[in-house]
Amino acid sequence: MSVVIQVENLAKQYRLGEVSTGTLVHDINRWWHRVRGREDPYLSITAANERETSSDQSYVWALQDVSFEVKQGEVLGIIGRNGAGKSTLLKMLSRITAPTRGEIRMNGTSSSLLEVGTGFHPDLTGRENIFLNGAILGMSKADIRSKLDAIVEFSGCARYLDTPVKRYSSGMVVRLGFAVAAHLEPDILIVDEVLAVGDAEFQKKCLGKMKDVAAHGRTVLFVSHNMASIRKLCDTGLWIHQGRLQKFGSCEDVVSDYLSSVSADQAWHTSVDQRVLSEHQKKPNLPVYITSVDLRSAGQAGVQTMDALTLRIKYRAAERFLNPGFMVSVQTESGVEIFRCSNMPIRGQSFAAVNQGVGEVRLRIPQLPLAGGRYVIDVAFARAGIEHLFRLNRVATLVVENTDVFGSGLEISQDWGMVVVPHDWELIEGDGQGNG
Amino acid sequence: MNDQNTAELASLSGRQWDLVIRPRGRWFDLQLADLWRYRDLVLMFVRRDFVAQFKQTILGPAWFVLQPLLTTLVFVVVFGEIAQLSTDGLPRVLFYLSGNVVWMYFAGVLTATANTFVSNAHLFGKVYFPRLAVPISVSVSYVLKFLLQFLFFMGFVAYFHWQGAEISFHPIIALFPVLVVLMALMSLGLGILFSAMTTKYRDLRFLLDFGVRLLMFAAPVIYPLSMIPDRWRWFLMINPMTPIIEAFRLAFLGQGTVSIGHLMYSAFFTVFVLTAGIALFNRIERSFMDTV
């Protein structure tokens, strides 16, 4: 098998912070160095990609010294934590952004699927959008026309084909988008975690389609957080950690190494999305702002089913307000709410007021009933009992380990239902009037 | 192992790759083959612009002709009736309509393409296609719109001719296709030049929106070039659209102040901005996702 992708010493530098007059100064300085044939002065002062440690340096290496090769027909799974540089790698492979250093060489046509339904126009009908989206992904009109029936059938949206897409449910939009993408026939297919959306049945369909693609001798690069699907699909694994290549080799080896490093590291289990927080803090005129969210379990390792869990929300109130309401909603990654906690009205615990200044709200869940898997958490505040102030969508991610709750030897994951409830079985023979 | 050796050998022996992605591209890399492969995309974009623009409107494509018509009526009242500006002896409606149709094309393409990167950031961030497809499709839709407005204008010319107004065609009419191509390429070139520069420094966009509006007063849209005293005329001639508007009027109405030299200036200007625009655009498209 020949090598179809060759990546050599690939690196990408990003500038942090906002564009302002300072950027202009840097640009001029950089240009002046280049004119004199010197090296870019900002390349040497760049920090490594470490999300947790804050640094004063305004440049960061999102990716550094990454080299690997992919052979024809191989399915490569790319894994790593949020922010490790996986998406940056995909963006360079897809020609969306250019590398700062290094080189990528490819043979054959390539298509990337970093999102489903890219470029859909809400006012156009389903049929028009199939043509538009197909053209954006690089198909010719004749190509799309010949595959139209297959695309429509795969999407299951035949009845709504001549309805504007803005009237579609979000699930239908995703199905239509994936249907178009599934009928691309590139030599190299690059797929980001697009399977995280949509229901279970749809995800199964997508995985099946990707297997199909691989079976036809095409090369697939696939990013996912779902180790089960990586294991099922991939031959080779690539693990990126803090912008560097940590391990490259057989999929099984890479995934197991990655998983053991993950469970050794607690922070990952309760990762808080700092972007959601900082966006919230930029909003003007709120009487109260959340400064941090923190999730802790009693367990030493990760969070397990039936663990006691404490959620601490630190706030800063600009003014005193009466009758505060706090809400925490726990959902699946695709956004289905599993349970909700609120002091009012659900729990019936009212507080008189939140005073001006800083403080902390604590939510204790004595026995977390969630099965092993990833969940996302929303946090919302209200005042005067009902007046909605804000809601931070997906502010935290909670990873529950598969746990042998009942000592039966089975580690319960989401495949066995989202919620684990204590239960007992009894078998009563005869007419049921026996011992009672 | 064996495979790896062959691969190394292949790369050592200078194997040809279909695609090589490097930090910096060449300054002038048109990627015409790539663009040609995506020609259906350009047409889809044009179609999308037309269809989406008039969904949920009652008058639909009638807006294409209503815009220049209403502007012309306002000009007739304000600049013609109230300010009593000269129109080279031409009927006021025809004079302002001709100026408006040409200027609206120029201003429209310039402001729309200048926003290429900013308004398509989401799309560009998710999928690769030759980025030039977007400004080119904008130009194509505006050319179609222009031709529609031009037919409308010709309707007025026919009506006024029938009414006995003093208008006539001029042999320069043979240059009409050249004029259209010239103004299409000029506005495209200027537009992509600005689009490349606005990605990082948005200040330029304000400058552009504002500048295009002011520039109209430095073009013979509301007054003829002949009205301007000789010693000030050079100032108007800096504007490369001036010869095009004057040539357009001369061709279809028989009045206008233009020479081949003036048109050559516009042509040189076009070649210059188009070259500079493409070069800068190529540079920016490779890394703009990091700065937008």
> Which residues touch A46 (CB under 8 Å, ≥6 apart)?
A13, A57, A59, A60, A61
B96 pLDDT more than 90: yes
**What is the rounded distance in angstroms from the CA atom of residue A273 to the CA atom of residue A270?**
10
B13 pLDDT more than 60: no
> Which residues touch A348 (CB under 8 Å, ≥6 apart)?
none
Contacts of B284 in chain A (CB under 8 A): none
The whole-angstrom distance between A179's CA and the closest CA on chain B is 16
**Radius of gyration, alpha carbons of chain A:** 25
**What is the rounded distance in angstroms from the CA atom of residue B148 to the CA atom of residue B140?**
13
Restricting to A residues 127-156, those with a Cβ less than 8 Å away from any Cβ of B are: 128, 131-132, 135-141
- Average pLDDT, integer, range A375-387: 86
- Say whether A97 and B290 touch across the interface (CB within 8 A): yes
- Average pLDDT, integer, range A314-339: 90
Q: Can you give the CATH number for the domain in which A320 is found?
A: 2.70.50.60
- Say whether A118 and B52 touch across the interface (CB within 8 A): no
Predicted local confidence at residue B25, as pLDDT: 64
The answer to the question of residue A427 being in a domain is no
B5 pLDDT more than 50: no
- Kindly report, residue by residue over A331-358, the tens digit of the pLDDT: 988 888 999 999 988 898 989 999 999 9
The answer to the question of residue A7 being in a domain is yes
A365 and A290 within one domain: yes
Q: Which residue of B has its CA nearest to A136?
A: B41
Measure the CA angle with vertex B130, ends B127 and B136; round to 5°.
Answer: 120
Q: Which residue of B has its CA nearest to A137?
A: B127
Note whether A320 contacts B: Cβ–Cβ < 8 A.
no
Task: For residue B143, give Cα distances in angstroms to A247, B63, B139, B140, B154.
Answer: 54, 16, 6, 5, 16
B8 pLDDT more than 50: no
Predicted local confidence at residue B6, as pLDDT: 42
Q: Which residue of A has its CA nearest to B6?
A: A2
- Kindly report, residue by residue over B18-51, the tens digit of the pLDDT: 888 888 766 666 677 788 889 999 999 999 888 8
More confident residue, A51 or B158: B158
A89 and A152 within one domain: yes
Q: Provide the pLDDT confidence category of residue A419 given band limits of 50, 70 and 90.
A: very high
B12 pLDDT more than 50: no
The whole-angstrom distance between A276's CA and the closest CA on chain B is 19
Tally of domains in chain A: 2
Question: Which of B24, B56, B289 lies at the smallest CB-CB distance from A96?
Answer: B289
Q: Where are the domains of chain B?
A: 31-291
- Average pLDDT, integer, range A408-429: 87
A219 and A76 within one domain: yes
A301 and A225 within one domain: no
Work out whether the CA dihedral A91, A93, A97, A101 comes out positive or negative.
positive
A322 and A186 within one domain: no
More confident residue, B267 or B85: B267
Helices of type H across B163-253: 176-198, 203-215, 230-238, 241-253
- Of A224, A245, A261, the one marking the end of a domain is A261
CB A280 within 8 A of CB A378: no
- Average pLDDT, integer, range B242-268: 92
Predicted local confidence at residue B70, as pLDDT: 94
- Of A238, A261, A284, the one marking the end of a domain is A261
Cis, peptide link before residue A345, omega less than 30° from 0? yes
- Average pLDDT, integer, range A282-304: 79
B288 pLDDT more than 80: no
% of chain B exceeding 70 in pLDDT: 92
A274 and A194 within one domain: no
The answer to the question of residue A429 being in a domain is no
More confident residue, B122 or B248: B248
In the numeric block, the tokens 């009638």 are attached to B62
Q: Which residue of A has its CA nearest to B4?
A: A3
Note whether A260 contacts B: Cβ–Cβ < 8 A.
no
Predicted local confidence at residue A81, as pLDDT: 80
φ/ψ bin of A224: left (φ > 0), alpha (ψ from -120 to 50), beta (otherwise): beta
Task: For residue A327, give Cα distances in angstroms to A303, A319, A333, B207.
Answer: 21, 20, 18, 47
- Kindly report, residue by residue over A224-244, the tens digit of the pLDDT: 877 777 888 888 999 999 889
Q: How many CB pairs under 8 A join A and B?
A: 124
A279 and A253 within one domain: no
Restricting to A residues 12-41, those with a Cβ less than 8 Å away from any Cβ of B are: 14-15, 19, 23-24, 27
The whole-angstrom distance between A13's CA and the closest CA on chain B is 9
A292 and A246 within one domain: no
This complex has an ipTM of 0.83
Mean pLDDT of chain A: 83
The answer to the question of residue A90 being in a domain is yes
- Average pLDDT, integer, range B227-252: 90
The answer to the question of residue A205 being in a domain is yes
B253 pLDDT more than 50: yes
- Kindly report, residue by residue over A99-117, the tens digit of the pLDDT: 988 999 999 888 888 888 8
A20 pLDDT more than 60: no
Note whether B12 contacts A: Cβ–Cβ < 8 A.
no
Closest CA to A379 of A430, A424, A324: A324
- Kindly report, residue by residue over A190-234, the tens digit of the pLDDT: 888 765 555 666 777 777 887 888 888 889 998 887 777 788 888
- Identity of the residue numbered A161: L
The whole-angstrom distance between B225's CA and the closest CA on chain A is 40
The partner residues of A240 in beta bridges, in order of sequence, read: A245
A388 and A341 within one domain: yes
CB B117 within 8 A of CB B88: no
Predicted local confidence at residue B27, as pLDDT: 62
Task: For residue A400, give Cα distances in angstroms to A227, A263, B190.
Answer: 14, 11, 56
The answer to the question of residue A433 being in a domain is no
A274 and A132 within one domain: no
Measure the CA angle with vertex B189, ends B183 and B192; round to 5°.
Answer: 135
Q: Provide the pLDDT confidence category of residue A17 given band limits of 50, 70 and 90.
A: low
Three-class DSSP labels, chain A? CCEEEEEEEEEEEEECCCCCHHHHHHHHHHHHHHHCCCCCCCCCCCECCCCCCCCCCCEEEEEEEEEEEEECCCEEEEECCCCCCHHHHHHHHCCCCCCCEEEEEECCCEEEECCCCCCCCCCCEHHHHHHHHHHHCCCCHHHHHHHHHHHHHHHCCHHHCCCEHHHCCHHHHHHHHHHHHHCCCCCEEEECCCCCCCCHHHHHHHHHHHHHHHHCCCEEEEECCCHHHHHHHCCEEEEEECCEEEEEEEHHHHHHHHHHHHHHCHHHHEEECHHHHHHHHHCCCCCEEEEEEEEEECCCCCEECCCCEEEEEEEEECCCEECCEEEEEEEECCCCEEEEEEHHHHHCCCCCEECCEEEEEEEEECCCCECEEEEEEEEEEEECCCEEEEEEEEEEEEEEECECCCCCCCCEEHHHCCECCCCCCCCCCCCCCCCC
> Which residues touch A76 (CB under 8 Å, ≥6 apart)?
A70, A219, A220, A221, A222, A234, A235, A236, A237, A238
A53 pLDDT more than 60: no
Note whether B291 contacts A: Cβ–Cβ < 8 A.
yes
Note whether B43 contacts A: Cβ–Cβ < 8 A.
yes
Burial class from Cβ neighbours inside 10 Å (0-12, 13-18, 19+) for residue B272 reads middle
Contacts of A23 in chain B (CB under 8 A): 200
Q: Can you give the CATH number for the domain in which A207 is found?
A: 3.40.50.300
Predicted local confidence at residue A227, as pLDDT: 77
Question: Which of A104, A119, A121 lies at the smallest CB-CB distance from B21?
Answer: A104
A392 and A353 within one domain: yes
Q: Which residue of A has its CA nearest to B17?
A: A107
Q: Provide the pLDDT confidence category of residue B158 given band limits of 50, 70 and 90.
A: very high
Predicted local confidence at residue B4, as pLDDT: 43
Tokens of A59: 């440049």
**What is the rounded distance in angstroms from the CA atom of residue B108 to the CA atom of residue B116?**
13
Q: Provide the pLDDT confidence category of residue B118 given band limits of 50, 70 and 90.
A: confident
% of chain A exceeding 70 in pLDDT: 87
The whole-angstrom distance between B206's CA and the closest CA on chain A is 16
Q: Provide the pLDDT confidence category of residue A301 given band limits of 50, 70 and 90.
A: low
More confident residue, A362 or A17: A362
Count other C-beta atoms under 10 Å from residue A162's C-beta. Answer: 9
- Say whether B10 and A2 touch across the interface (CB within 8 A): yes
Contacts of B47 in chain A (CB under 8 A): 128
A126 and A82 within one domain: yes
Domain of residue A121 covers 3-261
Count other C-beta atoms under 10 Å from residue B92's C-beta. Answer: 17
| Furthest-apart CA atoms within chain A: distance in Å | 97
- Say whether A121 and B48 touch across the interface (CB within 8 A): yes
Predicted local confidence at residue A268, as pLDDT: 44
The answer to the question of residue A17 being in a domain is yes
